[in-house]
Amino acid sequence: MLELALEELPRVGVPEGRITPELVQETRAAYQRQVTAACLRAIGTVGAKPPHPLKEDKKENFLLLVKKILKDRNLDLRHYHTELLKRRLALRLIATKLDSYLEYMRRLDKDPKEYDRLFATLCINVSEFFRDPPVWVTLRYLLETVIQKKLSSPDRRLRIWSAGCACGEEAYSLAIVAREATRRIAHNLEIKIFATDIDRECLKQCEIARYPKASIANVDQPLAERYFSRDRDTVTVEPEIRRMVEFSYLDLTSTDLIRETDLVLCRNVFIYFDHNLQKEILSKFCASLLPGGFAVLGKTELLPTASSCLYDEIDGNARIYRKK
């Protein structure tokens, strides 16, 4: 490649009888500039289409990719579970037929929509209404107890935060339980569920509130008939439940939070985070909760030891904790 580039250089001619030391020096400098330019063109050509797979410092380029995502999309993955994150990234490398993180960074520059596909891969948004039914038996009792206390207190607001709400099934399940707990009693209780996620496509699905019929397999028949309308292959959440839920974008690794909440659910999200970030987010939830408020994690997620000074365990099996 370099030989071809050098062959393309113009030949520098000097009229006979006019050779001087100054002219020789100028001619040599001009030729060196031409050689340098030819080398750079050859390097650029080979760099654009290398004849062999790129060898990369995977550790260094992984960190560069994480920093790029933070810079471009303000999503901080630096404290996510490293091996899990690498496995998710590997899926996108395979899908895009790329061999390195460096090539993938170039793809993100050329195709910004790849970010949407990447985020969809990073976030496992498989859910259903009343997921993990045994946990919802405890959650239903907890929520009914909190509502009863609210009805006898001056604070007439019940505020619940579904953090990492995916496509909204959990948030709507909470709204159904709260609606059922107050349906037969006269009250002026203001009930609001705040549901947040980093996946904007999922948030669009939340607003539409239409789901496959299989998603309500865990919903009791009377509740399914009362709170869902049916089509041939889908079900849609009824407006009275949809009005109880407010969806918005929120990155749990940022400083943003929902304030003055009675209950925070963050289930099956902590698996993405390392221990330091888990502690930070649990501190954020503690700041969000009112005194005596409750935090609920996923069944496979444990409260880090360092956070035990913030919460008392209420139900170890259902992963329910109360703010001290």
- Matching CATH topology for 58-122 and 133-323? no
Q: What percent of the chain has pLDDT over 90?
A: 56
Instruction: Please give the structure tokens belonging to residue 202.
Output: 């999922």
Quick check: 273 pLDDT over 50?
A: yes
pLDDT of residue 2: 45
Quick check: 13 pLDDT over 60?
A: no
Q: Write the DSSP assignment of 204-223 as a string of letters.
A: HHHHHTEEEGGGGTTS-HHH
When pLDDT is averaged across residues 59-80 and rounded to a whole number, the result is 87
Quick check: 167 pLDDT over 80?
A: yes
**CATH placement of domain 58-122:** 1.10.155
**Where do the structural domains in the chain lie, given as residue ranges?**
2-10+17-44, 58-122, 133-323
When pLDDT is averaged across residues 83-110 and rounded to a whole number, the result is 93
Pairing verdict, β 245-249 and 190-197: parallel
**Superfamily of domain 133-323, CATH level 4:** Vaccinia Virus protein VP39 (3.40.50.150)
Are residues 118 and 86 in contact, defined by beta-carbon separation less than 8 angstroms? no
Query: Residue 84's Cα: distance from chain center in Å?
Result: 13
When pLDDT is averaged across residues 138-148 and rounded to a whole number, the result is 94
Q: How confident is the model at residue 201 (pLDDT cuts 50, 70, 90)?
A: confident
Quick check: 280 pLDDT over 70?
A: yes
Q: Residue with structure tokens 């009805």?
A: 151
Nearest to 170 by CA among 225, 122, 220, 132: 132
0.75 cut: is pTM over it?
Answer: no
If one compares 95 and 51, the residue with the highest pLDDT of the two is 95
Q: How confident is the model at residue 52 (pLDDT cuts 50, 70, 90)?
A: low
If one compares 10 and 102, the residue with the highest pLDDT of the two is 102
Q: Would you put residue 74 in left (φ > 0), alpha (ψ -120 to 50) or beta?
A: left
d(CA 266, CA 250): 13
Q: Which residues contact 6 (CB under 8 A, 6 or more apart)?
A: 35, 38
d(CA 164, CA 168): 9
